[in-house]
Structure 1
Amino acid sequence: MSQSLRLNLAQWDERAPAHAASDGYGIQRFVDDPGHLSDVVRFDRPRLGDIAGLHAVHLQCHIGTDTLSLHRLGARVTGLDFSPASLAEARDLARRTGAEIEYVQSEVYAALEVLEPGAFDLVYTGVGALCWLPDIRRWAAVVAGLLRPGGRLFIREGHPMMWSIDETREDRALVVTFPYFEQAEPLVWTDDTTYVDTTAKFEHNTTHTWNHGLGEIVTALLGEGLELTMLQEHDSCPWDPMPGITVGDEHGEYRLAERPERLPFTYTLQARKRPN
């Protein structure tokens, strides 16, 4: 296991219980309301279309709220994640809601070793996933390998332009500080907090991340034989990326309070594997 993988795994394992206990993920809402969907899946439901009956895999599924939401829309879903602590929470949520979801522990790059190649109608990846992967071309190869001919990739992700902005500046100026394009060496972060409100204290606080330019992502998918069918950029995202200069809406999305057209926060991408 590489140092980056080891550090990131320790961070996710430690934070998974805090995420599951937080109001941000709203686990109890899933238990109480059989029709409840995650904010992320609800936002993209018009773009997802009818997925009833599709065999889907959710890569980097974390604690399974988006995975359960796909299941509730009628898909037969497998969730994959490298964190056993995250999967324990995901399995518990499935048990509490009576959902038949298979969860598999594996890093993304080894997915084809633990899942059946060419078996899936839909590969789904949610927000905040790709930044943990060092090589977008390897990811694209996994996606292509999992999809059946005619199958589809669906991803909503943080925009690489947003990831390149330093959100910690005291003057709150939008300044490009971090790489937009994929680099061999990771960005190294040390942060003893997490992105949900919690009183939990953490010990594993160093992580490694990578940015991937939008063109790099598209080119990687095209190189693996996928056809781009949607690329839509959004001025909002489902967490507060720049506290102090953003405003939330009634749907749980955040955008710049002033002139939100200046910066894309997320994008939705869909691509289809060409039929044989």
Structure 2
Amino acid sequence: MTDPDFLSDVVRFDQPMLGDISGLAGVHLQCHIGTDTVSLSRLGARMTGLDFSHASLVEARKWVARTADPVDFVEADVYDAVTVLGDASRDLVFTGLGALCWLPDIERWANTVAELLRPGGRLFLREAHPLLWALDETRTDVLALRYPYFEQPEPLVWTDEGTYVETDTTFCANTTHEWNHGLGEIVTALLCAGMNVTAFAEHDSIPWNALPGAMICDERGEWRLTQHPQRLAASYTLCAVKRHPR
């Protein structure tokens, strides 16, 4: 991160579809510790990172204090982003991997994105594929469906000791609530919110070991099925533009 030319693996992977973002006023929703946010800034966008986690933003601000990257961070719930940042205030909304699963209502999220964007502004989303979220991660012999593919009123509740990164830290808050959202639900929500989908791609890889024992990591830090990876869309990229009023 201290190298001014450093880009996160996620942003580097997405760069061909992301295109030129120089000079755009952007916001990274659910930015966590801000590595992707800073990377987007280094590609020329004027970035703000938004997250509801105070602890995550403490770490994010430490990074930019050291690197002098011109990135602001705002502590707020994603559904409050318009109230905090202003209506039609952004040219770019970026949402990265592992964000939508924490949200109970994809329609409300899509409306938030549309309200943040100026007409002609664009959304860039790369996410874990809902098919991947629906698989049984304990099976290594077959790809077995276990969890809902479509958004449900009630969340899946998990209690886990630890987190998805390697650490010696002991956690005392170990219960999480997650929701899946089908591709059709996401696309329909964006269309109904006044967005036009301009690009969509599915990928056979994802930047973490989502199915332990069944995946292998490549030189770019992307994980895909060890056997016949063409069977599974593990992540996707979606681009959409806010329609101009008639």
Listed as ranges, the gaps of 5+ residues in structure 2 are none
Match of 1:212 in 2: 181
* Large movers: runs of 4+ above 6 Å: none
Q: d(CA) in 2 for partners of 1:217 and 1:203?
A: 33
Please state if 1:247 is matched with 2:181: no
**Quick one: which amino acid aligns to residue 21 of structure 2?**
I
Shift in Å at residue 119 of structure 1?
1.0
Listed as ranges, the gaps of 5+ residues in structure 1 are 1-29
Please state if 1:42 is matched with 2:12: yes
Percent identity between matched residues is 62
The secondary structure found in structure 2 opposite 1:236 is coil
Match of 2:50 in 1: 80
The secondary structure found in structure 1 opposite 2:189 is helix
Shift in Å at residue 198 of structure 1?
1.0
Shift in Å at residue 172 of structure 1?
3.7
User: TM-score by structure 2 length?
Assistant: 0.98
Contact 1:172 1:244 in 2 (8 A): no
Q: d(CA) in 1 for partners of 2:167 and 2:57?
A: 20
Shift in Å at residue 173 of structure 1?
2.1
1:44-68 Cα offsets, whole Å, 9 max, x none, are 0011001010000000000000000
Q: Tell me the C-alpha RMSD between the 2 structures.
A: 0.7
The secondary structure found in structure 1 opposite 2:158 is strand
The secondary structure found in structure 2 opposite 1:67 is helix
The secondary structure found in structure 1 opposite 2:69 is coil
Shift in Å at residue 34 of structure 1?
0.8
User: TM-score by structure 1 length?
Assistant: 0.88
Q: d(CA) in 1 for partners of 2:213 and 2:138?
A: 10
- Equivalent of residue 202 in structure 1, options 131, 148, 171: 171
- The structure carrying a bigger helix percent of its residues is 1
Match of 2:195 in 1: 226
Please state if 1:259 is matched with 2:233: no
Please state if 1:271 is matched with 2:240: yes
**Quick one: which amino acid aligns to residue 245 of structure 1?**
A
Shift in Å at residue 215 of structure 1?
0.3
The secondary structure found in structure 2 opposite 1:161 is helix
1:24-48 Cα offsets, whole Å, 9 max, x none, are xxxxxx11x1100000000000110
1:219-275 Cα offsets, whole Å, 9 max, x none, are 000001100001100000011111211111000000001111111100000000012
Q: d(CA) in 1 for partners of 2:95 and 2:141?
A: 30
- Equivalent of residue 41 in structure 2, options 52, 55, 71: 71
Match of 1:9 in 2: none
